[in-house]
């Protein structure tokens, strides 16, 4: 359906093709991902609203104008109608038309309320390989880029993959020198991540787009905190921890950091340094596939449920979509109220 949808757009509006990357496979999956994310959050009006507004803000990097929303809406409806076949009805047509109107309006409102640049150029100032496929990069945007600890943003590597954007969490709390860290794992054929880990060097230029995401600290809460990180899902948690070091005295903070093996616990040393400096912090590293490593074994979610009780804590969950889903399910079995859990539909758009 996504293939048909894009073909429809390009056929009717050939000029639009240049706004997209040469290869469209990932793009196709993203359209469906965004629709699924929107539908999944429809019962949570705040989340739905924030998701679409930040998606709109983020889309300014593509130089999208309001007319493009009409083009996309028409193509989306046509694609759905074609693929639903005889199942399609007048009611579905009207419902999707209305839904798309709401989505487009919220995205446009998010875009026009943002007076920041549509993107920032940033220079890579250091690049360090932490394992065979994980790198930590520090970049400096040329202009001030304001974000909150725990947020993520899209990154493009114009030198290697123009117009292909992927989201990464910023791994540090905002600094006065404006620099930002990213933790990246090169997964399979992942283009942007592959380039960021294996090809990019200090001095290269990246483009960054608007910060997004709601996984930020609630400073009014007095509850203790549990951070659950899978792999490089640690990055936003690192930023939140740095943030906490600037004001926290009273809240106990537990970090469960899961990885496949010892090598993949790529930033454990710096977490342990933090724990040595701040008595309120404890770190539990977990390996899911490293027999004999001597620490906690299994998935990070299983380990979490062996500890506890967790009924009075605030939770932050970050990792692969599967890991996030499994953790949410486990927390619900442990009777943790949903309102105390923060996570982002991170890789879904
Ligand atoms: N803001 C966010 O939510 C961020 C999310 N990420 C995502 O985090 C992921 C990190 O990937 P990798 O480093 O390759 O991690 P990975 O796939 O090697 O997983 C690391 C650990 O997560 C846990 N885990 C994974 N799948 C699980 C499941 N189904 N149930 C329970 N636990 C599970 C296990 O403990 C595993 O050892 C990527 O998908 C990336 O997109 C990365 C940065 C920020």
- According to the model, what pLDDT value does residue 189 have? 65
- According to the model, what pLDDT value does residue 349 have? 39
| 131: CATH | 2.40.30.10
- Cα separation, 310 vs 305, whole angstroms: 9
Q: What is the tens place of the pLDDT at every residue in 280-307?
A: 999 999 999 999 999 999 999 999 999 9
The answer on 136 and 22 residing in a single domain is no
- Cα separation, 39 vs 348, whole angstroms: 12
DSSP annotation of 296: E
Question: Torsion angle, CA of 299/296/222/50, rounded to 10 degrees?
Answer: -20
The answer to the question of residue 220 being in a domain is no
**Domain end point (choices 77, 95, 112):** 112
Q: Are 229 and 318 in contact, with CB atoms under 8 Å apart?
A: yes
The structure tokens listed for 248 are 């926290």
- According to the model, what pLDDT value does residue 346 have? 63
The stretch 35-56 carries a mean pLDDT of 85
**Domain end point (choices 176, 209, 242):** 209
Q: Which residues contact 204 (CB under 8 A, 6 or more apart)?
A: 123, 124, 157, 159
Grade residue 347 by pLDDT with cuts at 50, 70 and 90. Answer: low
Q: Domain tally for the chain?
A: 3
The answer on 108 and 125 residing in a single domain is no
Q: What is the tens place of the pLDDT at every residue in 251-268?
A: 999 999 999 999 999 999
The pTM for the full model equals: 0.90
Backbone angles phi, psi at 91, to 5 degrees: -65, -45
User: Residue 91 belongs to what H/E stretch?
Assistant: helix 90-112
Q: What is the tens place of the pLDDT at every residue in 99-129?
A: 999 999 999 999 999 999 999 999 999 999 9
The answer to the question of residue 154 being in a domain is yes
- Cα separation, 313 vs 251, whole angstroms: 10
ipTM, 2 dp:
0.94
The answer to the question of residue 218 being in a domain is no
CA of 16 relative to ligand 1 center, distance in Å: 35
| 253: CATH | 3.40.50.80
Pocket test for ligand 1, best of 136, 137, 231 (most atoms within 8 A of CB): 231
The answer to the question of residue 214 being in a domain is no
Q: Are 161 and 151 in contact, with CB atoms under 8 Å apart?
A: no
CA of 282 relative to ligand 1 center, distance in Å: 20
Domain that holds residue 233: 225-348
Q: Are 328 and 317 in contact, with CB atoms under 8 Å apart?
A: yes
3-state SS, residue 163? coil
CA-atom Rg of the chain in angstroms: 21
**CA 26 vs CA 21, 23, 31, 298: distances in Å:** 10, 8, 9, 31
- Cα separation, 236 vs 304, whole angstroms: 19
Q: What is the tens place of the pLDDT at every residue in 135-151?
A: 999 999 999 999 999 99
The stretch 9-33 carries a mean pLDDT of 85
CA of 105 relative to ligand 1 center, distance in Å: 33
**Domain end point (choices 112, 147, 162):** 112
The answer on 185 and 169 residing in a single domain is yes
Ligand 1 contacts (CB < 6 A) are: 152, 169, 185, 187, 230-233, 235-236, 258-260, 264, 286, 288, 299-301, 318-320, 322-323, 326, 344, 346-347
3-state SS, residue 136? strand
The answer on 340 and 229 residing in a single domain is yes
The answer on 137 and 108 residing in a single domain is no
Q: Are 318 and 346 in contact, with CB atoms under 8 Å apart?
A: yes
């Amino acid at each position: 359906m996504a293939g048909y949808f894009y073909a429809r757009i390009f056929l009717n509006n050939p000029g639009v093709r240049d706004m997209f990357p040469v290869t469209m496979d990932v793009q196709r999956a993203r359209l469906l991902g965004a629709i699924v994310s929107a539908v999944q959050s429809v019962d949570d009006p705040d989340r739905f609203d924030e998701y679409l507004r930040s998606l709109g803000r983020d889309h300014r990097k593509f130089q999208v104008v309001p007319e493009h929303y009409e083009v996309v809406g028409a193509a989306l409806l046509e694609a759905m109608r074609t693929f639903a076949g005889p199942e399609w009805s007048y009611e579905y047509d009207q419902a999707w038309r209305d839904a798309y109107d709401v989505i487009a309006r919220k995205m446009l409102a998010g875009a026009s309320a943002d007076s920041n640049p549509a993107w920032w150029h940033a220079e890579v100032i250091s690049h360090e390989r932490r394992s065979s496929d994980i790198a930590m990069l520090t970049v400096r945007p040329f202009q001030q880029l304001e974000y909150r600890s725990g947020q993520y943003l899209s990154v493009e590597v114009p030198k290697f993959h123009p117009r292909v954007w992927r989201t990464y969490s910023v791994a540090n709390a905002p600094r006065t020198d404006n620099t930002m860290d990213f933790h990246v794992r090169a997964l399979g054929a992942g283009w942007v991540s592959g380039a960021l880990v294996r090809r990019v060097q200090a001095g290269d230029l990246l483009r960054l787009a608007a910060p997004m995401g709601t996984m930020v600290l609630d400073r009014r809460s007095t509850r203790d905190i549990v951070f659950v990180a899978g792999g490089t899902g640690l990055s936003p948690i690192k930023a939140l921890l740095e943030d906490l070091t600037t004001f926290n005295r009273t809240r106990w903070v537990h970090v469960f950091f899961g990885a496949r093996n010892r090598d993949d616990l790529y930033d454990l040393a710096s977490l342990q340094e933090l724990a040595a400096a701040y008595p309120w912090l404890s770190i539990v590293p977990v390996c899911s596939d490293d027999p004999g490593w001597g620490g906690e074994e299994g998935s990070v979610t299983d380990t979490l449920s062996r500890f506890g009780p967790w009924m009075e804590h605030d939770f932050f969950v970050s990792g692969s979509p599967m890991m996030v889903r499994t953790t949410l399910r486990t927390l619900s079995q442990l009777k943790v109220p949903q309102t105390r859990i923060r996570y982002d539909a991170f890789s879904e758009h």
